[in-house]
A and B are shown apart, each in its own frame.
Chain A
């Protein structure tokens, strides 16, 4: 919570599902696994959104399991070649979700793996901000970014564009707003 209270991305990151197991039978909650009018048996594997799982876990109602996107395979992939992992398809809020998991669960390796992957991918993101145009770009790497990285990419791209415009003296002129131009051409 705190400064993330109004942050839409934080809210979306908390929607990610965590596999969890109830430690007790929960009367009348069978609908969570699709059976109406049945009690939810203890030790059933169900996926709960993070915001729910966090509090249930802290109060010892459920046990957690690491989601697949932070499991062995992905870790090995990230160690081997961080730039060729498609984070966007694993989980669109990979890093944000990862940070939440790090803070909830004790895992000695995960913070370093995430941070190293992030650092390794940074220069490549920066390269793309320098070279390609935002809309016409069809590079595979750009599609493999997660939301945090996409935001970074857009930020970098905008400042590079602004610099280029300044260099060519376009910044001081008044243009048609982009929204209007799009409407006219359609």
Chain B
């Protein structure tokens, strides 16, 4: 209980981004470098124009030190995103973007915007996509029922954003829909045929749901 609600309810966006930094990405080194021996593996040796697959966090670190160029993933591209946006606006379902598209694109656009062609356009498209998808998530909320919520293809970050709200709403709804264990065997009766009125029936045991 002493933690803030935000931490109790799940991951913060920064934590989600941290997890996403383990995705691999292709870089083109700019300098000759030996093998990097790291805890989770060794990368390299890097020889300039040979491409390498490294985790995103390493790519970002190298990029900040001007030691590599990052090759953006093929979905971080104006044409691709435009088709996805069209799918998104025309269809009922969420379009199948990569699971961690928000985190990865956010990190890349933040620190390696010069490696992404037409970065501003990409940014706008991503923002549009996000708005359309948020509106869909909201519509999904109206169709909520105590058994399941169907929202496929949501990204990790989007899930993380709506998770606290949806799980809480879902739990409350489950409580409301839950029938008492002895539903067929009334455990207790109210004494009024007409609800909200203080008339007693003869023995107080007959209760008819008169509505």
A contact set with B: CB distance below 8 Å: 19, 21, 23, 43, 45, 57-58, 63-66, 68, 70-73, 75, 95, 98-99, 102-109, 111, 114-115, 118-119, 122-123, 126-127, 129-130, 148, 151-152, 154-156, 158-160, 162-163, 165-167, 169, 171-172
User: Are A172 and B188 interface neighbours, CB within 8 A?
Assistant: no
Q: Which residues of chain A are within 8 angstroms of B162 by Cβ–Cβ distance?
A: 159
Segment of B80-88, B112-120, B179-187 in the binding face: B179-187
Identify 12 new A-B residue pairs, CB closer than 8 A, beyond the known A19-B198, A43-B200, A95-B172.
Answer: A71-B196, A99-B176, A105-B189, A105-B207, A106-B207, A126-B165, A130-B134, A154-B5, A158-B9, A159-B162, A162-B12, A163-B161
Leading 8 A-B pairs by shortest Cβ distance: A71-B196, A166-B13, A63-B191, A156-B165, A106-B186, A108-B209, A63-B204, A115-B176
Q: Could you say which residues of chain A place their CB within 8 Å of the CB of B14?
A: 166, 171-172
A–B Cβ pairs within 8 angstroms, 11 of them? A64-B191, A66-B196, A70-B196, A71-B196, A115-B146, A159-B6, A159-B162, A159-B163, A163-B157, A171-B14, A172-B14
Contact of B55 with A by CB under 8 A:
no
Main secondary structure of the interface of A (DSSP, over half): helix
Does B32 count as interface, using CB distance less than 8 angstroms?
no
Let me know if A104 and B187 touch, CB within 8 A: yes
Cβ of B175 and Cβ of A99 under 8 Å apart? yes
Residue B31 CB within 8 A of the other chain: no
A159 to B137, CA, bound (A): 15
Interface centre among A45, A57, A63, A151 (most CB of B within 10 A): A63
Chain B residues near A (Cβ < 8 Å)? 5-6, 9, 12-14, 17, 106, 110, 134, 138, 141-142, 144-146, 157, 160-165, 168-169, 172-173, 175-180, 186-192, 194-198, 200, 204, 207, 209, 211
